[in-house]
Amino acid sequence: MRRNECIAMLLAGGEGRRLGVLTKDLAKPAVHFGGKYRIIDFTLSNCVNSGIETVGVLTQYQPLVLNRHLGIGSPWGLDRRDGGMHVLPPYVRQKGGSWYKGTANAIFQNIGFIERYDPEYVLIISGDHIYKMNYELLLEAHKANRADATIAVISVPWADASRFGILNVDEDGKVLEFEEKPKQPKSNLASMGVYMFSWPVLRDALLRDDEDKMSSNDFGKDIIPKLLGEEARLFSYRFDGYWKDVGTIESLWEANMDLLEDSPALDLNDRSWRIYSVSPNQPAQYLSPEASVTNSLINEGCVVEGRINRSVLFHGVKAGKGSFIEDSVIMPGAVIEPGARIVRAIVGENAIVGSGCQVGSVDSEHIAVVASYDHIVPEIPLEEANPL
């Protein structure tokens, strides 16, 4: 890819309300995933691995943790003299200025940034999804089709199709119809929220969208349908790999568990497509003589003295003697004290689960959640529960 032929705009303002206590103090793209990473690492690594070296990251909601994580982009090799990563928060102008109103408005407010690089193509992606995708192939397809816009799509189960933006396409992949969350979907091709635009087309569409007072300034709701109505050349690009929107506690838990399958659809150990992240810089994990670990992912700095099965442990987790962790996700720095039991749960960053406590249960329909920095103590004092 020629330098700055294509630049990426990464929408990272997601509030992630459905993740409850896990997003109390941080934006959704900064939520921990996969034992080591944060959700946004996947899209940033995709950009770098695809040869895109200029990325604008649009932040808005609770940006402190996210900004700290992003830094100057060096973990992803995006600290460049020319281009690289730029964090783009909303800002005040001479005549007002405002928060980002919708996805399209966020890009509209940063037209100035894009113009500085004068790209031919602009890739719009979101920091909320877990997937590995070569955007270079998407760009090639976009060029081959002489498209104005190309939308990456993935087949979803028919039963779930009504939750997505659904595309109806012809045999060449040309988009005929776009329906946002249709009641009766005519296809199961869902938009992944990954758009490749020819910049002049996008620029024009954004300017007109801003003038439309009825518009909600959103790509899925406004820009795409409008372009389609104007008979612009809209194409779909089929993606067959693993893709997951980890927007809810259940889906976040599931996506973590997916990594533990025999041959996971999302291979973190693929040397040709590394996922980069901020290094926690901790020593190799220590497993004590009493430890038992099976079918799990464990990161650096952990001290394991208990039994772990089908679980994901982030860096610096301590699992004390006689503790038991199964089907669970334990976020960085959490302490599972001796004798505690964690089953079907997500334990937040630096939380402490006290001796003898139980979190979650095998037959529970829901995934139990312990908030970050929470300290769980037994309801009955230990001495009473286990009289000597």
Partner 1 sequence: MKLPLMGIINLIHETEEMGALTAGRCLATVPFGGRYRLIDFVLSSMVNSGISNVSVFAHTKFRSLMDHLGSGSNWDLHRKQKGLFVLPPAMENQTDFGKGDLYHFWRHRDYFRRSEHDYVVITRSHMVCNIDFSLVLEQHRERGADVTVVCKRWPNATTGLTRKARLDPDGRIAEMQDHFGRLASDIVSMEMYVLRKELLVDLVETSLAQGKDHFVRHAVLSRLGELRVEAYMHEGYLGVVNSIPAYYRHNMELLDQKVWRELFFEPGPVFTKVKDEPPTRYRDGSTVVQSLVANGCEIEGEVRNSILFRGVKVRKGAVVRNSIVMQNGVVREDGTIENCILDKEVEIRKQQQLKGSADMPFLAVKRNVI
Q: Which is nearer to partner 1, 288 or 361 (CB)?
A: 288
> What is the smallest separation between the CB atom of 134 and partner 1, expressed in angstroms?
18
CA distance 86 to 318: 36
The yes or no reply on residue 295 touching partner 1 (CB under 8 A) is yes
Q: Which of 110, 215, 299, 323 binds partner 1 (CB under 8 A)?
A: 299
Q: Phi then psi for 59, rounded to 5 degrees?
A: -110, 160
Q: Using CB under 8 A, which of the segments 171-179, 189-197, 217-225, 269-277 binds partner 1?
A: 269-277
Q: Which is nearer to partner 1, 26 or 308 (CB)?
A: 308
* Binding flags for partner 1, 114-153, as an x/- string (CB under 8 A): ----------------------------------------
List, in order, residues 6 or more apart from 163 with CB less than 8 Å away: 181
Alpha carbon 152 to its chain centroid, in Å, reads 16
Residue identified by tokens 């720095």 is 333
The yes or no reply on residue 46 touching partner 1 (CB under 8 A) is no
Q: Which of 212, 230, 250, 290 binds partner 1 (CB under 8 A)?
A: 290
> What is the smallest separation between the CB atom of 347 and partner 1, expressed in angstroms?
16
CA distance 168 to 224: 13
Residue identified by tokens 């300290």 is 375
Rg (CA), the chain: 23
* Binding flags for partner 1, 20-39, as an x/- string (CB under 8 A): --------------xxx---
CA distance 60 to 88: 9
Q: Using CB under 8 A, which of the segments 25-33, 177-185, 288-296, 354-362 binds partner 1?
A: 288-296
CA-based end-to-end distance of the chain: 71
* Binding flags for partner 1, 72-101, as an x/- string (CB under 8 A): --xx--------------------------
> What is the smallest separation between the CB atom of 315 and partner 1, expressed in angstroms?
8
Q: Which of 67, 276, 354, 374 binds partner 1 (CB under 8 A)?
A: 276
State the burial class of residue 364 (Cβ atoms within 10 Å of its Cβ: 0-12, 13-18, 19+).
exposed
**Token couple for 361:** 């249960």
The yes or no reply on residue 268 touching partner 1 (CB under 8 A) is yes
**Angle at Cα 372 formed by Cα 371 and Cα 377, nearest 5°?**
65
Give the interface size with partner 1 as a residue count (CB under 8 A).
37
Q: Which is nearer to partner 1, 291 or 371 (CB)?
A: 291
State the burial class of residue 281 (Cβ atoms within 10 Å of its Cβ: 0-12, 13-18, 19+).
exposed
> Residue 374: helix, strand or coil by DSSP?
coil
Q: Which is nearer to partner 1, 109 or 277 (CB)?
A: 277
Q: Which is nearer to partner 1, 12 or 308 (CB)?
A: 308
Q: Using CB under 8 A, which of the segments 80-88, 118-126, 283-291, 362-370 binds partner 1?
A: 283-291
The yes or no reply on residue 279 touching partner 1 (CB under 8 A) is yes
> What is the smallest separation between the CB atom of 323 and partner 1, expressed in angstroms?
15
> What is the smallest separation between the CB atom of 299 and partner 1, expressed in angstroms?
4
377 bridge partner residues: none
DSSP string, 62-112: SHHHHHHHHTTSGGGT---SSSEEEEE---EETTEE----SHHHHHHTTHH
Q: Which of 285, 323, 328, 372 binds partner 1 (CB under 8 A)?
A: 285
Q: Using CB under 8 A, which of the segments 173-181, 228-236, 298-306, 368-376 binds partner 1?
A: 298-306
The yes or no reply on residue 214 touching partner 1 (CB under 8 A) is no
Q: Are 44 and 31 in contact (CB under 8 A)?
A: no
The yes or no reply on residue 364 touching partner 1 (CB under 8 A) is no
Q: In what order do the strands lie in the sheet with 324-326?
A: 292-294, 307-309, 324-326, 341-343, 358-359
| Nearest residue to 333 (alpha-carbon basis) of 320, 352, 349 | 349
> What is the smallest separation between the CB atom of 298 and partner 1, expressed in angstroms?
5
Query: Which residues are near partner 1 by CB under 8 A?
Result: 34-36, 74-75, 268-269, 274-277, 279, 281-300, 303, 308, 312-314
